[in-house]
């Protein structure tokens, strides 16, 4: 009887410890996020990079996007936010090409939500490149000739291959997934929900700020 009582008390203590950790905003590697076995180099070591791996073809990414956009408006200047399109099939490759074309043209913020809506609300067939060009013209004033030139360019094709390689290096198997500073991978399954991913990311940003400060780098947030 005593053994069961002691075991029960130990279990309760562990539960309270876990609850306390989450109450303090603490998260655990292997539980709410994964540490990448091989870190991926970031573009700017002086800033904390957060990458959203996504696809316009993913309904979960579409549902998550308003939360992602809201979170983006709260980040400090020391956080470098980027998106990388996932290419898990041929149709997603075309959508990745669409995103990267917008990125090259500098019009992502003007066309991003419209492309999501075109796929998931209006159910437009974006396998027709003319449909994509029409969105760029209507939302960002990009002429069809200019769109087609960039869309079919070597630069965009190269960026697709770079995106494929980077997503592979991140060991991403589903989207949306968030990568923090090339070191940590967070997805909805690990975090508990897609929205909760952002809580985990904020925690990891805080840990990275501490690491930067410990190395003598200024922290601006």
Q: Give the residue extent of every domain in the chain.
A: 30-214
pTM over 0.85: yes
**3-state DSSP assignment of residue 185:** strand
Flag the least confident range among 23-37, 128-142, 186-200: 23-37
Strands 48-54 and 34-35: unpaired
User: Which residue, among 201, 208, 164, has the nearest Cα to 186 in the 3D structure?
Assistant: 201
* Confidence at 218, pLDDT banded by 50, 70, 90: low
pLDDT at 27 over 50: yes
pLDDT number for residue 10 = 40
pLDDT number for residue 41 = 97
* Confidence at 26, pLDDT banded by 50, 70, 90: confident
pLDDT number for residue 107 = 98
* Confidence at 221, pLDDT banded by 50, 70, 90: low
Which residues make beta-bridge pairs with 54?
Answer: 85
- Residue 34 belongs to what H/E stretch? strand 34-35
Q: What is the mean pLDDT of residues 45-65?
A: 97
Which residues make beta-bridge pairs with 35?
Answer: 184
Q: Are 111 and 139 in contact (CB under 8 A)?
A: yes
pLDDT at 202 over 90: yes
pLDDT number for residue 108 = 98
CATH of domain 30-214: 3.40.30.10
Q: What is the mean pLDDT of residues 184-207?
A: 97
* Confidence at 15, pLDDT banded by 50, 70, 90: very low
pLDDT at 13 over 80: no
Q: Where are any strands of DSSP class E within the chain?
A: 34-35, 48-54, 79-85, 177-180, 184-187
Token digits of residue 188 = 């909805």
* Confidence at 190, pLDDT banded by 50, 70, 90: very high
Q: pLDDT above 90 covers what percent of the chain?
A: 84
pLDDT at 95 over 90: yes
pLDDT number for residue 25 = 62
């Amino acid at each position: 009887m005593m053994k069961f009582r002691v075991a029960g008390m130990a279990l309760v203590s562990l539960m309270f410890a876990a609850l306390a950790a989450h109450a303090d905003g603490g998260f655990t590697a292997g539980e709410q996020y994964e540490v990448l076995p091989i870190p991926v180099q970031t573009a700017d070591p002086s800033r904390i990079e957060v990458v959203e791996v996504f696809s316009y073809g993913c309904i979960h990414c579409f549902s998550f996007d308003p939360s992602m956009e809201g979170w983006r408006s709260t980040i400090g200047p020391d956080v470098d936010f980027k998106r990388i399109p996932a290419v898990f099939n041929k149709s997603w490759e075309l959508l990745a090409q669409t995103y990267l074309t917008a990125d090259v043209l500098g019009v992502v913020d003007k066309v991003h939500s419209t492309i999501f809506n075109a796929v998931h609300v209006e159910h437009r067939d974006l396998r027709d490149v003319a449909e994509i060009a029409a969105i760029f013209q209507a939302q960002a004033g990009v002429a069809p000739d200019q769109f087609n030139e960039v869309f079919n360019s070597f630069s965009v094709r190269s960026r697709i291959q770079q995106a494929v390689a980077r997503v592979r290096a991140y060991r991403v198997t589903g989207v949306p997934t968030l990568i923090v500073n090339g070191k940590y991978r967070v997805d909805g399954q690990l975090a508990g929900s897609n929205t909760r991913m952002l809580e985990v990311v904020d925690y990891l940003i805080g840990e990275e700020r501490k690491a930067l400060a410990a190395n003598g780098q200024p922290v601006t947030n």
